[in-house]
Amino acid sequence: MSQKSPPPQSNKIRIAFDRAEAVTWRGRGIVIDLFRFSNTICALLESGRRDVKVYATPALALSARRQAKDADIFSEIDLGPGVDQYDNSPYTALYGSDPSRPALSVTNSGSPAAASLLLAEEILVACFANFPALVSYCLAGPRPTLIVPACLFYDSRHVEDMICARALAEELEGRDMFEQALQEIHASGRVLDFIAGRPETGKRDMEMALKKGFLKAVPRIKFKAGAGIVDDAAAKKDKR
């Protein structure tokens, strides 16, 4: 009797190198926009926000804001005159805003990257700050995984996303490459550029973004009618 070939490993891990890979992916998708979006979404959950939504475009976010006038928008994009918004700042999200209000996020790279994964069976958000919690969650339920560096959707010079993606792939395979990745990011000059361009919260944002294990949330996004509804996959796991 002939032997059957073994099934493919359920925890196969890939990194996306172009947008098309994300658009057609059907397994678990993990978005990394290291300096802002990923940490901001984690921080919004950890601040106690119960209503967090992600939008692919400013038009969609502004439409949602008109329907929920008590909602806060977090974005680095200039959304036009008369729009009251917070910067896409994880420090502000965690410490400088009202956690009782709904939060809307629309960004240059992170939110379009998440929205590209519409066919994925699960969409998660990763950063160094939630590495331990996210890895624990993923290893508890292995699935074919595509890690999506958000720089693919905006500016390929934002190399920190790809560096973090490689470190996450290693972490999911049981190898800790955090310190090496951190050195590579600092060597790129991107940290100093970010701080210089964001004098109000840049340094504090970087302290959060580059501290492994600082945040415990594992944001999970489910898109419905153009809105990416965010919950904490780690919290759901704890309740089971």
Q: Which CATH class is domain 13-235?
A: alpha beta
For residue 238, the model assigns a pLDDT of 45
Beta carbons of 36 and 110 less than 8 angstroms apart: yes
- Enclosing H/E stretch for 223: strand 219-224
In the chain, domain spans: 13-235
pTM: predicted TM-score of the whole model, two decimal places: 0.93
For residue 11, the model assigns a pLDDT of 57
Q: What is the pLDDT along the chain (240 residues), one digit of tens a residue?
A: 444 433 344 559 999 999 999 999 999 999 999 999 999 999 999 999 999 999 999 999 999 999 998 999 999 999 999 999 999 999 999 999 999 999 999 999 999 999 999 999 999 999 999 999 999 999 999 999 999 999 999 999 999 999 999 999 999 999 999 999 999 999 999 999 999 999 999 999 999 999 999 999 999 999 999 999 999 999 865 443
- Enclosing H/E stretch for 32: strand 28-32
- Enclosing H/E stretch for 73: strand 72-74
Tokens of 69: 């006038």
Beta carbons of 54 and 115 less than 8 angstroms apart: yes
Euclidean distance between CA atoms 210 and 29, whole angstroms: 22
For residue 236, the model assigns a pLDDT of 61
Q: In what order do the strands lie in the sheet with 72-74?
A: 13-15, 145-149, 28-32, 122-126, 219-224, 227-232, 52-54, 103-105, 72-74
For residue 69, the model assigns a pLDDT of 84
Tokens of 37: 């979006």
For residue 163, the model assigns a pLDDT of 98
Q: In degrees, to the nearest 5, what angle opens at C-alpha 208 toward C-alphas 50 and 144?
A: 70
Euclidean distance between CA atoms 117 and 102, whole angstroms: 23
For residue 240, the model assigns a pLDDT of 35
Euclidean distance between CA atoms 125 and 31, whole angstroms: 5
